[in-house]
Amino acid sequence: MRTIVVVNSKGGCGKTTIATNLAGHFAKRGVRTALVDLDPQQSSLEWLAARPGWRPSIHGVDGQKGSLHLPRNTQVTIIDSPARVHGRQLSDIVRRADLVVVPVLPSPIDIRAAGHFITGDLLHLGALKGKSGRIALVANRVRENAKIFSALQTFLRRQEIRHVGTLRDTQNYIRAAAMGLSIFELAPSLVARDLDQWRPLTRWVSRTKL
């Protein structure tokens, strides 16, 4: 089983959007997928509750209820985490992970906060010592012509961890989320550009050697 944690202490950067879309991606490919929601806001579980029953199934787990009960044949587990995680809680979350995805928004406040989170918290965790290849940044809600995008790119280059994707700001994510779907399940003509943007990330989470 492969466990992918989506985490950033900064709120609203796209953790739930990326976690639910990753879950949708794997489920659509026939992979037995579990989605664990560690956030008291329960946004991932609410997304799952809105999901039509005939869509490829995803096993939802309320991660706040202590130990995680996953179906025995689960192949991929995606963990959505809450904002403001630090210290012991962060360490407990990351210990479960094979791979860690950190979404970052292209705003000065978010870039600075992500820098503190990565260099001050994440890279110090025992569970990730010597495993920086298992962490990836995803730039989210990017408008490519925005000036700040170059600041984000500079920031990403300075990190010891790789930048595996850039997702644009689009209503497609909001539309899909409203229906309990991932963008992989919307009309291909509508999301062609988004599917291209997801490819490096889905490849990285599927193929990185553990």
The footprint of ligand ATP (CB under 6 A) covers 11-17, 39, 41, 43, 83, 140-141, 167, 169-170, 173-174, 177
- In the complex with Mg ion, the residue whose CB is nearer, 43 or 182, is 43
Binding status of residue 15 toward Mg ion by CB under 5 A: yes
Q: Maximum distance among all alpha carbons in the chain?
A: 48
Q: Measured from the CB of residue 3, what is the shortest distance to Mg ion in angstroms?
A: 18
Distances from the Cα of 36 to the Cαs of 42, 82, 176, in angstroms?
10, 11, 19
Q: Measured from the CB of residue 73, what is the shortest distance to ligand ATP in angstroms?
A: 28
- In the complex with ligand ATP, the residue whose CB is nearer, 73 or 171, is 171
Rg of the chain in Å (alpha carbons)? 16
Q: In what order do the strands lie in the sheet with 99-104?
A: 58-62, 33-37, 76-80, 2-6, 99-104, 135-142, 162-168
Pair 120, 155: CB distance under 8 Å: no
Q: Measured from the CB of residue 122, what is the shortest distance to ligand ATP in angstroms?
A: 15
User: If contact means CB under 5 to 8 A according to the sort of partner, which of Mg ion, ligand ATP, none does residue 51 touch?
Assistant: none
Coil, helix or strand for 44? helix
- In the complex with Mg ion, the residue whose CB is nearer, 33 or 42, is 42
Q: Measured from the CB of residue 111, what is the shortest distance to ligand ATP in angstroms?
A: 15
Binding status of residue 163 toward Mg ion by CB under 5 A: no
Alpha-carbon distance of 194 to 182, in angstroms, equals 11
Q: Measured from the CB of residue 9, what is the shortest distance to ligand ATP in angstroms?
A: 9
- In the complex with ligand ATP, the residue whose CB is nearer, 99 or 101, is 101
Alpha-carbon distance of 125 to 107, in angstroms, equals 26
